[in-house]
Structure 1
Amino acid sequence: MKTDFDYNSMPVSFAHCLNGHCLRADKCLRRQVTLRMPKERAAVTVINPEHIASDGGDCTYFIDEKPLLFARGMKHILDRVPLADANIIKRQMISYFGKTVYYRCCNKERLIKPKEQEYIQGLFRKRGVAGSPQFDEYIEYYDLG
């Protein structure tokens, strides 16, 4: 877990895990968030400990505590792409994300997940665009699903 972890960066509805006996507890974001819960937080969403296996082997709620590299913003992602290719790539991204999510991603209102970055990179490759797409910035964050 990041040393500068900010509990308040987690969504209010994020489910916490109380299962300290799980074999994967030390690597699970849900458990680590639970251990860092501030006393000022009066109530949280919790996963029923009886619902999940104690060995953690196939827990569907497990989230790796390691942050991933998310992109934020793509206002200028098509600036260096020939116009004909840029128009096609933009249409494909809008088709993939949907118009609202696409524009939220462009305007830094929504993070772009690593798998979504790979998809966009694939669009560039298919059009023969040299180099990787350049997003506005990158931040480390947790893959919450």
Structure 2
Amino acid sequence: MEESFDYSQVPFTFGMCAAENCSHASTCLRHIALKYAPTKKVFLPIMNPNRLKSMKKDKCDYYCSNEKVRFAKGFMCTVNALTVRVADTFRYRMISYFGRKNYYLKRKGELNLTPAEQQEVIAIAKSLGVILKEYFDSYIEEYNWD
């Protein structure tokens, strides 16, 4: 059974693909998003057709898998487990990794953490002596639009 696709989740600037004979079209988010684009949208961000013609049939540098990824939402449980002695060090390292604004948004769960970002949070926490069963507040399965 095919899962329904919600076009409203597609980021505004996400590049779509109209390659007709692509062997990866059935599993590529770029092709699937274009297939579900509403007719009321007149202009869409789409890959240059001339670029598509110049690409090899089997390999695409712009392939974006439609498999959902497990994103984490928030790491306040990790922040709360920090001792006063290492809390500043953790915060400074996270800010240098995410940037100040994104650190606070990701910490509260307003921005999702990718699997790579999750590993970084865990590595920094462990390097400061914080060993937990769970480092994140919750998880969500979503498409990876990057």
* 8 Å CA contact 1:121, 1:132 repeated in 2: no
Q: Superposition pairs for residues 127-138 of structure 1, below 5 Å?
A: 127-138=128-139
- How many residues are treated as equivalent by the alignment? 143
2:57 maps to which residue?
Answer: 55
Tell me the secondary structure at the aligned position of residue 11 of structure 1. Answer: coil
CA distances 1:11-46 after superposition (whole Å, capped 9, x unpaired): 122111000211111121101111112222222111
Question: Which residue identity is paired with 1:35?
Answer: K
Give the superposition deviation at 1:112: 1.2
More helix by share: 2
1:142 maps to which residue?
Answer: 143
Q: Give, in whole Å, the separation in 2 of the partners of 1:126 and 1:117.
A: 14
Q: Which runs of 5+ in 1 are unaligned?
A: none
1:122 maps to which residue?
Answer: 123
Q: Give, in whole Å, the separation in 2 of the partners of 1:15 and 1:124.
A: 36
- In structure 2, the CA distance between the partners of 1:133 and 1:124, relative to structure 1 (3 Å rule), is farther
Q: Give, in whole Å, the separation in 2 of the partners of 1:82 and 1:61.
A: 44
Q: Give, in whole Å, the separation in 1 of the partners of 2:63 and 2:21.
A: 14
2:15 maps to which residue?
Answer: 15
Give the superposition deviation at 1:126: 1.7
Q: Superposition pairs for residues 1-145 of structure 1, below 5 Å?
A: 3-52=3-52, 53-57=55-59, 59-145=60-146
Q: Give, in whole Å, the separation in 1 of the partners of 2:107 and 2:18.
A: 37
Question: Which residue identity is paired with 2:142?
Answer: Y
Q: Give, in whole Å, the separation in 2 of the partners of 1:71 and 1:14.
A: 22
Q: Give, in whole Å, the separation in 2 of the partners of 1:119 and 1:8.
A: 30
Larger deviation: 99-108 or 75-84? 75-84
Tell me the secondary structure at the aligned position of residue 80 of structure 2. Answer: coil
Q: Which runs of 5+ in 2 are unaligned?
A: none
Give the superposition deviation at 1:123: 0.9
Question: Which residue identity is paired with 1:93?
Answer: M
Give the superposition deviation at 1:134: 2.6
Task: Show structure 1 runs of 4+ deviating over 4 A.
Answer: none
